């Protein structure tokens, strides 16, 4: 049986791309990464694609006069490879409403907070400034409104005394590498789907417990 084809869009080091590459390498994973596109010619993440013999392309946004022209080039490249779903993995470009609408229900993103809290940029710094005790990450479908699409999955981590932006970011990134492949599998296998404004799961999906911070002493 042919596997579902995934396109991954990156702009930088591609650590989430690497986690997806490692996941799809499993024989029982129902998808394959058929194309990696970078908006930056020298993005380190392209090396992960090359090492895994995954077709790759660079579409530099600076070569286009408008966001719409850039997005049209992305769309054409994805359709050339018959891509079924697109995963944003550190892709640092705002996508046009048309592109998002054309890929509605097929476009996934990962964000380093427990949405809907802390949308946008500088997330870990804002978490620390706010004094929250639990951080995490979210995989969601992309909609025209930034970081506001239906949530597919989330993972939580404690904010520890003495945390810096760097230490908190690293802890969240570890969760991202586990969560993104799991959510992609759920979508590809049809075990999670958009239902109205939210994502619904098939029966049998279980959670892994409760995180309390500071931990209970009794």
- With 0-12 / 13-18 / 19 or more C-beta atoms within 10 angstroms meaning exposed / middle / buried, residue 214 is exposed
CB count in 10 Å sphere of residue 17: 30
Closest CA to 17 of 177, 140, 152, 153: 177
Count, in order, helices (H) and strands (E) of the chain: 6, 9
Interaxial angle between packed helices 165-188 and 123-130, expressed in degrees from 0 to 180 and rounded to the nearest 10: 120
| CA–CA separation, 189 and 203 (whole Å) | 13
Asked about 140 being catalytic, the answer comes back as: no
Which value, in Å, is the radius of gyration of the alpha carbons in the chain? 17
Contact 34, 82 (CB under 8 A): yes
Give me the catalytic one of 48, 61, 79, 111.
111
> Would you please indicate which residues are annotated as catalytic (active-site) residues?
111
């Amino acid at each position: 049986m042919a596997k579902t084809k995934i396109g991954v869009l990156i702009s930088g080091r591609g650590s989430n791309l690497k986690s997806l590459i490692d996941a799809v390498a499993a024989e029982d994973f129902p998808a394959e990464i058929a194309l990696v596109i970078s908006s930056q010619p020298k993005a380190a993440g392209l090396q992960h694609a090359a090492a895994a013999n995954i077709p790759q392309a660079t579409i530099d946004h600076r070569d286009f006069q408008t966001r719409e022209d850039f997005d049209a080039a992305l769309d054409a490249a994805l359709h050339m490879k018959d891509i079924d779903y697109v995963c944003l993995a550190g892709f640092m470009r705002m996508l046009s409403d048309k592109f998002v609408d054309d890929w509605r229900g097929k476009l996934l993103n990962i964000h380093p907070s427990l949405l809907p809290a802390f949308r946008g940029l500088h997330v870990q710094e804002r978490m620390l400034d706010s004094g929250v005790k639990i951080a995490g990450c979210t995989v969601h479908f992309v909609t025209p409104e930034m970081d506001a699409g239906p949530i597919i999955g989330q993972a939580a981590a404690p904010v520890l005394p003495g945390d810096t932006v760097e230490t908190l970011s690293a802890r969240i990134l570890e969760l991202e590498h586990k969560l993104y492949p799991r959510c992609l599998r759920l979508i590809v296998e049809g075990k999670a789907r958009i239902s109205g404004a939210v994502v619904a799961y098939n029966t049998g999906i279980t959670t892994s417990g409760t995180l309390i911070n500071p931990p209970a002493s009794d």
